[in-house]
Structure 1
Amino acid sequence: MNNEQDLWTYTLQPQDDGQKYQEILFRKFHFSRKLIQHLKQAEERVWVNGVFTFLTARGKAGEILAVQLQTPETNSIPGEDLPLEILYEDDYFLAVNKPAGQVVHPTPRYPTGTIGNAVVGYWLAQGEARPFRPIHRIDRNTSGVVVVGKNQFAHQQMAWQHTHRRIHKCYLGIVEGQVKEDQGVINAPIALAPGSFMQRQISLEGSPAVTHYRVLERYQDASLLEFILETGRTHQIRVHCQHLGHSLLGDDLYGGSLARIDRQALHSSIYEFNHPLTGELTSIQAPLPEDLLQLLRGLRSFNA
């Protein structure tokens, strides 16, 4: 058996008696069928009481089931030596504070200089090779928390939590005008705008999208809002702010003015989830960047 620190373990309970190990992993711990298939196809990665076992075998209460989750992998994109502000790291996740202007994953338009290139370069410098698996993405000109899975198990477990709305995402944004209501919910479906490959719009034919907002501060002609997402549609907050009649400052794609800031005034502030290994709440926070702090100082000076 491999180093015990690298193993996921579980002691079978009376209700697990007679159940196949693969069904225990699938039903109780939400291992995906794809991951279970990979475990079956790989060399010895599952043990019971220290002895290799097949996942199709049936368990007995009291047995200790152990699964090797960390396996050698290869890089999916080139690594680069780039600045990287790390907010959190353990054996399963890496979270970074993305600056505005940087793309999360390489694209034909932005093949290098991305968070992905920086993360892979960081891993290579430590002698580690693994694919870049972002748990979520934020727009190029949005700053803040980006979480990356360090193995297939971590990525798959977070996909399950996302599907079952177990992940808490909080954004801070500065919008045009004074929002009258102290808080509210925007429930408006979003679809791709006709003739565009990027811009979105409110549409009855679109995917469901729900954003909760709360006013934190009001200024002479702007408001600081907190956004909590129930769904994660592309450009969701940006489109919903325009729909609310209060576009994000700097978001010229959705009606915002560029007079005070040259990018949408939106920041991924908090990302919370239950750690799949321990079940404990993991909260990752990113401080506001200097351009947004400077914008807030300017807005507050008019209120003084």
Structure 2
Amino acid sequence: MNAHHTLWEYQLKAEDSGQKYLSILLHKFHFSLRLLQRLKQGERVWVNGNFTYLTARGKEGETLSIQLFSEEETNIPGENLPIDILYEDEYLLVVNKPVGQVVHPTHRYLTNTLGNAVVGYWERKGEPRLYRPIHRIDRNTSGVVIIAKNQFAHQQLAWQLERGHIQKRYFGFVEGVIPENEGIIDDAIGFAPDSFIKRQAQPDGQLARTHYRVLHRYPKATFLEFILETGRTHQIRVHCEGINHPLLGDDLYNGDTTLLSRQALHSSMYAFLHPATGLPMVIRAPFPEDLRNLIKSLNSENSPGK
């Protein structure tokens, strides 16, 4: 086996005896049929060090090995850009995305994106890979972004994300004082009329549910923690505007830009199961400097003489 590729291994247990390897990988470890087809064609499924067919049946104690695709060409040009790495292993790269950076190149943002930065980082390490972010956050939202380093990791995390098994927490500052200590915003979201960017709450939109908890109240603002059950585009921004407490700095959704020129929103924590080990992972991103300065400004509004 090629040492440059990631090797996934599993030792069969008693309940696996007599099961086809295909069934074990499909139902126990949620490998996709598409990935298994690629592995089959590349002869990348092994038992006790020898190639095997997926239709063969396993025995307790056998070591099932998968040689995962890691070295793959990408059409995203790498760039030597700063990258703040929160966690990395052979399956995952988790970064703290800065404000103003797009997660993935688009026709409007061809360079200086997180994708360009990550590909450039891998190129400098001699690890050509496809760029596979598990999720996206808005250009002017800072914080945690998870990137899979191979197709298996991407598929495993996407499976968790689709089923709501990944916990997502954000910090945000909204206009006005929210009296309730916690609450749930349960408004469906769709496109705003005549806009390809802006969203709005509408009854026939996609289900969207945001939990919030008050962390601190200022004279004219509230510091909140958000927990997302769903991951709709602009979800927190739309929901905050919908309860008449838009995020500070969010000019698209009628937020006050006096103290901040971007939405006061930070992707603070993601919790999930590691795609290979199944162990719980909790990744946190520290507060960016502009939000620390915002706190100072909000505190100063409450000082004597203000």
TM over 0.5: yes
Aligned residue in 1 for 2:279 = 280
Per-residue deviation at 1:170?
0.6
Question: Is the contact made by 1:8 and 1:66 (CA closer than 8 Å) also made in structure 2?
Answer: yes
Q: Structure 1 segments of 4 or more deviating over 6 A? A: none
Q: Superposition pairs for residues 1-304 of structure 1, below 5 Å?
A: 1-3=1-3, 6-42=6-42, 44-304=43-303
30-39 vs 214-223, which moves further: 30-39
AA partner of residue 30 (structure 1): H
AA partner of residue 137 (structure 1): R
CA distance in 2, matches of 1:280, 1:303: 44
Question: Is the contact made by 2:212 and 2:224 (CA closer than 8 Å) also made in structure 1?
Answer: yes
94-103 vs 209-218, which moves further: 94-103
Aligned alpha-carbon RMSD (Å): 1.3
CA distance in 2, matches of 1:254, 1:288: 22
CA distance in 2, matches of 1:225, 1:100: 19
Per-residue deviation at 1:5?
9.1
CA distance in 1, matches of 2:148, 2:277: 16
Number of positions where the alignment pairs a residue of Structure 1 with one of Structure 2: 303
Question: Is the contact made by 2:5 and 2:71 (CA closer than 8 Å) also made in structure 1?
Answer: no
219-228 vs 11-20, which moves further: 11-20
| Percent identity (aligned) | 61
Per-residue deviation at 1:2?
4.5
Per-residue deviation at 1:136?
0.7
TM-score (norm 2): 0.96
Q: Secondary structure at the match of 2:301?
A: helix
Q: Secondary structure at the match of 1:145?
A: strand
Per-residue deviation at 1:13?
1.8
CA distance in 2, matches of 1:141, 1:197: 17
CA distance in 2, matches of 1:176, 1:116: 33
CA distance in 2, matches of 1:201, 1:172: 21
Unaligned runs of 5+ in 1: none
Question: Is the contact made by 1:76 and 1:130 (CA closer than 8 Å) also made in structure 2?
Answer: no
Decide whether aligned partners of structure 1 residues 120 and 261 sit closer, same or farther in structure 2, where only a CA change above 3 A counts: same
AA partner of residue 87 (structure 2): Y
CA distance in 1, matches of 2:6, 2:211: 39
CA distance in 1, matches of 2:26, 2:69: 18
TM-score (norm 1): 0.97
